[in-house]
Structure 1
Amino acid sequence: MTHRPDIVVLGAGYAGLNAALRLALNPHVTVTLIDPSDHFTERVRLHQLTTGRPEVSVTHPLSVLLRGTRIRHLAARAVDLDRAGRQLRTDDGRTVSYDRLVYALGSVTDTRAASDTRAAQDAAESGPAGASERAYTAESAAELGKRLLDGPGRLAVVGGGLTGVELAAEIAESHPEWEVRLLTAGTLGAGLSGKGRTHVRTTLGAMGVRVREGDRVASADDVDADVVVWSAALRPRTELAAAAGLELDAAGRIVVDRTLRSASDPAVYAAGDAAATSLRMACATAMPTGAHAAASVLAGIGSRPTRPLAFRYVMQCISLGRDDGLIQPVHGDDSPRGSVLTGRPAAFVKEQVVRSTVRSLRVAASLARAR
């Protein structure tokens, strides 16, 4: 009897879930998806949870997405990776063997340099229940939304990247009674064009957000505010990979070749924010790298040539509240073009882009069911 290769995917985020669904298109392999959550979270919508609106939902049951796909979901956390034995051990005591492993545990907000956000880091790892009264991250946005309802005060968002901008705009628009500041060590929206940065500054200013550029904050303890929303950086969730001896780069991401195969273990592939590619950490890169990792795994199993990852950026999309936004067209290397789309049209395009991610996952699931 011909052996059916066992493929394990770690992580049910944008990269991991997309990889698992693409792998399931091949009826000659078995696919196991390991993730402690029973749902897929739209991370790019987390800032919307701060509005406190009951109609906002950012999760989708994995049982629905995976139904009929032959993907086995283990609702557990991987705690040990035995590369020599090609086995994973989970926190509920199970041992899972694999022929190929796709590591796609993604990233979380990096709060290691912010002492007052240790509880927020716990929330990022284990859920919003651990969020502190003062410090929050995007991962604990639901708890932040509840905190904002307790009464007006002073709030500071630390980080001038796209996530920080979206959080500041969403909070200022939905809670105008709060005094909102945005603090960034560098330039606000550094990857945007001059027109893009001007629109972001103007829009935030109209919402009452005070922006301070060139303000390096070492810790939330240093911020004079009732609430601090830490959004300064992301860190890859590669502790398991490091403990197993996989080679990591200086940023802590798994070193891979151009096919997304680990440079230190031919049975391991990495996708999304955990992979050391030249791409920035984002949903826009996680989805295609998940698909490419799956294609590389299947090509390797079938002794077919593997193709190098080819990716070109198209645009950056930013929400500025519910009725405004910024669409920044970019060159293939992610450098900004001069033109921008703003206002309600940009908000509409941003929403369609966000919806397209879930649509594409549902399409992949439908195709897998048909096999």
Structure 2
Amino acid sequence: MRIVVVGGGYAGVLAANRLAKAVEAEITVVNPRPDFVERVRLHQQVAGTAVAAGPLGSMLRAGIATRVAAAHKVGDGTVTLDDGSTLDFDYALLAVGSTVEPMAGTVPIGSWEGAQRARAALAALPAGAVVAVVGGGATGVETAAEVAAARPDLRVRIVGSPVAATFTGRARRLVRDGLARVGVEVTDDEVVAVDGGDVALASGTGFAADLVLWAIVSGVPELAAASGLDVDADGRVLVDEFLRSTSDERVFAIGDCAGVPGTRFACQSATDQAGHAASALAAMIAGRGPKPYSVRYLARCVTLGRRAAVAQFTHLDDTPRDTALSGRTAAVLKELATRGAKFGARAGFGA
């Protein structure tokens, strides 16, 4: 039995480790870099407050092979790599995550390479420089707050339409108040162009910035579509109730690249689906009927520097509740969740 996992992030690592415990198989993880990147810590990587990557091998159980390469095509029981070599499989799991398509003149922070560029550029800025963060979602909020807290000598401005839109009611107010507390200027607008140091807004206004960080995650890799798998309008793999591709039952899709109705780009989604898909595949291999996947969310949470955060609890379908936590308590919970995601991936814990 040969199983290939394409992607070495939270979802791919968790699925590989869970399968290694459950089935007798040759398991190979394909990843474009030799490191495991904690994507939910990339804002800390940018600000210089943490290192968000470590050796991929240290995250995988003994016996799991790794291949440092990018997958070019998946189909007919074969994964074709960018160097022209191939890996045959009986089953494959696609866990390639999401992509960032930055506006010209900006530095993307949703990828490891972009975060490294941003970190170097930020470190080179003198006191009084202006940093603009484009994107009012969780990535933008966390990055703006982390940079402002780490570099109080800079002017930090976040631009979104609007900022903290994924939160509601009191929780949204807490997020915006937390940004103000660390000195972040909030602009509810949309960036339409960046030309040198000039940032143009949809409202017709603009401002000057020394560094513009792009904090919007907007799509998924073209691997699935290029492989001929059925995808939705956003390029995400269409899957059945067991997270198998609707066009190839040997292929599972998990995390951001899976077109599961009612889900969003989030570590919660990735780890939950990874655990379920691994269990479903193990059940199929053993001749048992797998259980259907169901969406389950608990909360939406953002950090606001190292000492504060806001967590808004949700219903299982991700609709927000009125209950929210903030301050140091929420920061501790977010840090525990972040550490738990890494521990769970290494241990193979999941749904």
Does TM, scored on the shorter chain, surpass 0.5?
Answer: yes
- Residue aligning to 1:137: none
Residue 296 of structure 2 corresponds to 312
Question: Does the CA contact (< 8 Å) of 2:300 and 2:313 recur in 1?
Answer: yes
1:57 and 2:51 aligned: yes
Whole-Å separation in 1 of the counterparts to 2:290 and 2:6: 21
8 A Cα contact 1:52 1:142, kept in partner: no
Q: Deviations over 1:151-208 (max 9, x none)?
A: 13111111111111000101111112211111112x3222213111111111211222
Q: After superposition, where does 1:139-288 map in structure 2 within 5 Å?
A: 140-150=114-124, 151-152=126-127, 153-185=129-161, 187-213=162-188, 215-221=189-195, 223=199, 224-237=208-221, 239-277=222-260, 278-288=262-272
For residue 24 of structure 1, what is the amino acid of its counterpart? A
Q: Which residue number corresponds to residue 204 of structure 2?
A: none
Deviation at 1:67, TM superposition (A): 4.7
Please point out which of 88, 92, 95 is paired with 1:101: 92
More helix by share: 1
Q: Using the aligned pairs only, state the percent identity.
A: 39
Q: Which runs of 5+ in 2 are unaligned?
A: 200-207
Report the CA distance between 1:220 and its aligned residue.
Answer: 3.3
- Counterpart-to-counterpart distance in 2, 1:311 and 1:333: 6
User: Secondary structure of 1:334's partner?
Assistant: coil
The TM-score with structure 1 as length reference comes to 0.85
Q: Flag the 1:331–1:71 CA change in 2: closer, same or farther, 3 A.
A: same
Maintained 8 Å contact 2:39/2:110: no
Partner of 2:69: 76
Q: Distance in 2 between matches of 1:262 and 1:364?
A: 22
Output the TM-score relative to the length of structure 2: 0.90
Map residues 345-360 of structure 1 onto 2, 5 A cutoff.
Answer: 345-360=329-344
Match of 2:11 among 15, 24, 46: 15
Q: Deviations over 1:115-142 (max 9, x none)?
A: 334xx46x967x53xxxxxxxxxxx223
Count of residue pairs brought into register by the alignment: 336
Q: Distance in 2 between matches of 1:276 and 1:29?
A: 27
Give the aligned partner of residue 39 of structure 1: 35
Cα distance in 2 for partners of 1:324, 1:313 equals 22
97-106 or 307-316: which moved more?
Answer: 307-316
Deviation per residue, 1:229-286 (Å, 9 max, x gap): 111333112x121111111111111111111110111111100000001210111110
| In structure 1, C-alpha distance between the alignment counterparts of 2:193 and 2:217, rounded to whole Å | 13
CA contact (8 A) 1:191 1:336 kept: no
Task: Let me know the Cα RMSD of the aligned residues.
Answer: 1.9
Return 227-236 or 158-167, whichever deviates more: 227-236
Question: Does the aligned pair in 2 maintain the 1:148–1:175 contact within 8 Å?
Answer: no
Counting strand residues as a fraction of each chain, which structure ranks higher?
Answer: 2
**What secondary structure does 2:174 align onto?**
helix
Correspondent of 2:309 among 314, 325, 344: 325
Runs of 4+ displaced beyond 6 Å: none
**Gap runs ≥5 in structure 1:** 129-139, 366-371
Question: Does the 8 Å contact 1:52/1:146 carry over to 2?
Answer: no
